[in-house]
Amino acid sequence: MVTGWFAGEGDNFRLLGTRCSACACVFFPREDGFCRNPGCSGGDLEEVPLSRRGRVWSYTDSRYRPPAPYVSDPELPWHPYALIAVELETERMVVLGQATPGVDVTDLEIGMEVEVVPGVLEEAEGPEEDPATTWTTWYWRPVGVGA
């Protein structure tokens, strides 16, 4: 899990961004230092939950092993997954993420509504004093598709 990028569970699960008090621009991932809008004189940054739903802006399938922080055992066979760029209308931004497992590019259409849901990237067994590690993330799921 990348700390501070998302929070909550179930219907309360949200990606977390920041909003500038001076220009109202919203950023994801969160920014703790300064407003990234080059036309802004700078303001205070406030953490804000992003919209749960958006529309597919673009998509593709990923046929390569992703770099860190994603976890991928090179000893196991690789399975492609769909990547979705989702437009969040309220925030006026596009956020990239994986489709939920089982959803591939043949299930997607430009403009279809999707929602953000929590997911597990990988689970690994650890030593006895720390038996397991779970790496969490977010997924985009077409609205109306079961959990």
- Domain ranges for the chain, please list them: 1-50, 52-147
140 pairs with which residues across the strands? 99, 116
Question: What is the spatial distance between Cα 57 and Cα 75, in angstroms, rounded to a whole number?
Answer: 34
What are 118's two structure tokens? 């929590």
Question: What is the spatial distance between Cα 107 and Cα 127, in angstroms, rounded to a whole number?
Answer: 40
CA diameter of the chain: 53
Residue with tokens 């969160």, as numbered in its chain: 30
Question: What is the spatial distance between Cα 29 and Cα 12, in angstroms, rounded to a whole number?
Answer: 18
- This prediction has a pTM of 0.83
User: Can you give the pLDDT of all 147 residues of the chain as single tens digits?
Assistant: 567 889 998 889 999 999 999 999 999 998 778 899 999 998 999 999 999 999 999 999 988 877 766 666 778 777 888 999 999 999 999 999 999 999 999 999 999 999 999 988 777 766 666 667 777 889 999 998 765
